[in-house]
Amino acid sequence: MTVADLSTQDRYPTRVDAESAMIRRSDPTVWPGVTAGPATAEELAGHEAKGFHVVEGLLSPAEVQTYWQELERLTRDPEVRADERTIVERSSDEVRSIFEVHRMSELIAELVRDPRVLDRARQILGSDVYVHQSRINYMPGYRGTGFYWHSDFETWHAEDGMPAMRAVSISIALTDNYPFNGGLMIMPGSHRTFVSCVGETPDDNYKSSLKEQRVGVPTEDDITKLAYEHGIEQFTGQAGSALWFDSNCMHGSGNNITPFPRSNIFVVFNSVENALVNPFAAGHPRPGFIASRNPTPILR
């Protein structure tokens, strides 16, 4: 079987049957190919086992302040707010996410190229990488709404045409993450199981799913099975810490009804050897600002 055959073969069918299914992962989590980088053998082993690992103090307090000021600048910029890449909360009209932020901000573009970030992504994926998606998530106090349980790969496979689970995300906290302000919850070990979802993909599904995802989410029975099998952990810690997690981890977050906002920089790295093909369960691909179709390697 050729590389082209592998990229177009649907090994993780979803949104095709009346009932969901649980499919055993057939891809590595930590890929061979790159041995040098900032991640230790213990961190990579933990990532392989749990599907994620945390790097405390990735950014210094001074760097956190710099990026927080950049976030504030972007959210106040009327041109950015009017841009289609900016998503607002369904109920409050406050900024929820700004996509393709590494193209809007040179500061964040530099962060993507930073060896602390780029080289760890290369270690995990075993190859050169490119940015599949970047965004700033801003969960304001009192009115910030969470994200329902989901696997990112299910959407990227179904709607973007990502062939294999060879992508990794980094979420860098710009504010302190407490257990009570909508911190990300994740099921350790869930990355080994692909959960197919029920329901066809509507046209332009991204326009509503970025505010509230209703298609491409697992059933409550499947969430319950995974939760009882794997348990749930939560990403908490000081601003500047970072969570690296596999594209197929089951994760979600609750609403933030506290006064304390929760903001983060979110970057998805995809292997250049895992370039997008036609969507596996959608009529046409999502826009490039959500899912880049240009697999040009990132250079420092």
The Cα–Cα gap between 298 and 62 comes to 25
User: 241 versus 210: which is more confidently predicted?
Assistant: 241
pLDDT greater at residue 143 or residue 105 = 105
Helix, strand or coil for residue 26? coil
Q: Sign of dihedral through CA atoms 137, 244, 201, 3?
A: positive
Separation in Å, CA 238 to CA 111, 151, 256 = 19, 25, 17
Between 90 and 130, where is the model more confident? 130
**CA angle (118 as vertex; 117, 120 as ends), nearest 5:** 70
Q: Average pLDDT, whole number, for the chain?
A: 91
Strands 233-234 and 184-186: antiparallel
CA-to-CA dists, residue 291 to 6, 167, 179, angstroms: 20, 12, 30
Task: Using alpha carbons, select from 276, 277, 268, 265 the residue that is nearest to residue 298.
Answer: 268
Residues 30-41 pLDDT 10s: 999 999 999 999
pLDDT at 210 > cutoff 80: no
> What's the order of all strands across the beta sheet hosting 242-246?
52-55, 242-246, 167-173, 262-271, 129-139, 95-99, 86-88
User: Which residue from 171, 152, 142, 151 is spatially nearest to 237, judged by alpha carbons?
Assistant: 171
Placement of tokens 């079987």 in the chain: 1
Backbone φ and ψ for 195, nearest 5 degrees, come out as -105, 110
190-229 b/e (C-beta count within 10 Å ≥ 16 → b): bbbbbbbbbeebeeebbeebbeebebbbbeeebbeebeee
Confidence check: pLDDT of 3 > 60? no
pLDDT on residue 139:
82
Q: Output the pLDDT for position 2.
A: 46
176: exposed, middle or buried (Cβ count in 10 Å: 0-12, 13-18, 19+): middle
pLDDT of residue 143: 80
pTM of the model: 0.93
The tokens for 162 are 């990502």
Q: How many CA atoms lie within 13 A of 240 on its CB side?
A: 12
Instruction: Dump pLDDT digits (tens) for 226-266.
Output: 999 999 999 999 999 999 999 999 999 989 899 998 899 99
Alpha-carbon gap, residue 293 to 120, rounded angstroms: 22
Structure letter (DSSP) for residue 247: T
Tell me which amino acid residue 293 is. R
The band of 206, judged by pLDDT with boundaries at 50, 70 and 90, is: low
Nearest residue to 248 (alpha-carbon basis) of 164, 173, 136, 159: 164
